[in-house]
Amino acid sequence: MFDKYLIVDGSGRNVVDDGKVVGFEVDARIAYYRGLGLSMVEDVSLTVDGVTFAREDTTFSVHGNTYRLDDMEQVVDDRWGFSEKATIRVSTPEPLSAGEHTVTLSERLRISYIPMPTVTRDTKILTVAGA
């Protein structure tokens, strides 16, 4: 559900630190009709122009808190709110060129009353400003 709303329109951007590109990030909404404790956000994954980034290179940030995905498995006192936009960042030394890129976000959520975790995907063409 909410498939086509997962990637916030226009939110793809290179991440620059100290003059160097260190990553790429998008803003995301939760694929669910309520907020969820972070321990139950099993995976968020970005694929850019056909290349899927590794889980170890992905971080999840919400209301100022940033987590590595493996660390998030233990987080029971923080949540991704229903109305909140989270930031999914992947580390990469290669800046994305200015212009259009095909970005797929995949979210896997562990929902207690459903037998298997849900997987929801959104693919958008995002225009990225040059680094």
Partner 1 sequence: MPDHKIKRGVSFYSYQEEYFLGKLDLEGCIAEAAKIGANGIEVIPEQSFDSFPHLSAAELEAWHGYMSKYGTTPVAYDLFLDRKRYKNRLLTLEEGVESVVRDIKLASKLGCSVIRVIINTPAEVVEKAAPYALEYGVKLAVEIHSPMRYDHRWVNEHLEVIHRVDNGFLGLLPDMGTFVARLPRVITQRALREGATPALVEYIEKIYQEQPTDLHTLAPEIAWRGGNPADLTLAGEAAWYNNLDPRVLLDHMPYIFHIQAKFYEMTDDLVEYSIPYDKIVDVLVEGGYDGYLSSEYEGNRHIQDVQEVDSIEQVRRQHEMFKRLLGESDTAEKKV
Torsion angle of C-alpha atoms 112, 115, 117, 118, degrees rounded to 10: -100
Q: What is the CB neighbour count within 10 angstroms for residue 69?
A: 19
Q: Decide whether 4 or 125 has the Cβ nearer to partner 1.
A: 4
3-state DSSP assignment of residue 57: helix
- Here the tokens at position 15 are 């991440």
Build a one-symbol-per-residue string for 57-96: x at contacts with partner 1 by CB under 8 A, - elsewhere.
----------------x--x--x-xxxx------------
Judged by beta carbon, residue 2 or residue 129, the one nearer partner 1 is: 2
Do the bridges between strand 58-62 and strand 65-68 make them parallel or antiparallel, or are there none, so unpaired?
Answer: antiparallel
Q: Is 35 in the site for partner 1 (CB under 8 A)?
A: yes
Rank residues 87 and 91 by Cβ distance to partner 1 and give the closer one.
87
Query: Which residues lie near partner 1 (CB under 8 A)?
Result: 1-5, 29, 33-35, 37, 39-40, 42, 73, 76, 79, 81-84, 110-113
